[in-house]
Amino acid sequence: MTAAPSARPGAAIVARLRAAGCVFAEDEARLLTGAARTPADLAGMVDRRVAGEPLEHIVGWAEFCGLRIAVDPGVFVPRRRTEFLVRQAVELGRRPEPSPPPPVVVDLCCGSGAVGAALAALLHRIELHAVDVDPAAVRCARRNVAASGGRVYQGDLYEPLPATLRGRVDILIANAPYVPTAELGLLPPEARLHEPRVALDGGADGLAVQRRVIAAAPRWLRPGGHLLIETSGQQAGRTAAACRRSGLVPSVATFDDLEATVVIGVRTHAVRSARRSRGWGTR
């Protein structure tokens, strides 16, 4: 008899969430219930979710690579598919030497800092630098990478990075926006209405920001360093071609289960000498 009153509100919450189109209504109800401090809090949180606000913004965190990543309202929510980007970077960042120097990692368009935080946790010891143009994202990222000792900068791509990093970066990772501008209206309302446009809009063909990242990458990578960019399966060929034009040797990795695609460009020793002879800059 005592269990029934607590069960009925839970069932009612699940029903409301399911009616609002939440596919994993039971799981979401559990998370909302766990995050609420009072019944009034819970009611307000359910209302926000039914209205279409991302669950992660409501509870204040997202699960990513086994970590709890703080996600503030208005900040880009890390996607599960991006775990594949992290996985590729981890494989490249492992060092076989007994006591190697920590790899230098730069995370561009870092958003909440989820990618950098995950790499720091999985590689255990890295020199991490993360950048985002959005002040809200930078504040969030600083909380998420604090334990790793990483630094987070606010600015446009490479602009705020210390010049001392040029030619030293082992892993340059970018989850830059790649949705074509004309397709933003097709995104789910959770993203379209509650995430910053700057984190979604990739320009006319979706590759505007990627091209800027790729063009400057050889200036920052060490010889043998890798650039990793998340993109879509449809855009991967053009992203790889942009890497090739910048002197990087590209490859494409995919993982169908997450519908994830990553283009990886490696800087060879030949690229270094070619860039010096041409006098290329950072932009």
d(CA 228, CA 119): 13
**Domain CATH for 215:** 3.40.50.150
Q: What is the mean pLDDT of residues 102-128?
A: 95
Q: What is the mean pLDDT of residues 105-110?
A: 98
Strand order in the sheet with 249-255: 151-154, 127-132, 104-108, 169-174, 221-231, 260-266, 249-255
d(CA 79, CA 114): 10
**Any domain includes 64:** no
Q: What does the angle CA 158 – CA 263 – CA 153 come to, to the nearest 5 degrees? A: 20
In a shared domain, residues 105 and 47: no
In a shared domain, residues 11 and 125: no
d(CA 254, CA 232): 9
DSSP string spanning 5-16?
HHHHHHHHHHHH
Q: What is the mean pLDDT of residues 182-195?
A: 93
Q: What is the pTM of this model?
A: 0.87
Q: What is the pLDDT of residue 97?
A: 64
**Any domain includes 123:** yes
**Any domain includes 207:** yes
In a shared domain, residues 104 and 214: yes
Name the domain count of the chain.
2
* Higher-pLDDT residue of 21, 99: 21
Whether the CB-CB separation of 79 and 261 falls below 8 Å is answered with no
pLDDT in tens, 40-71: 999 999 999 999 999 999 999 999 999 999 99
What is the extent of the structural domain holding 14? 3-51
In a shared domain, residues 173 and 273: yes
Q: What is the pLDDT of residue 186?
A: 94
> How many C-beta atoms surround the C-beta of residue 133 within 10 A?
20
pLDDT in tens, 246-256: 999 999 999 99
In a shared domain, residues 247 and 203: yes
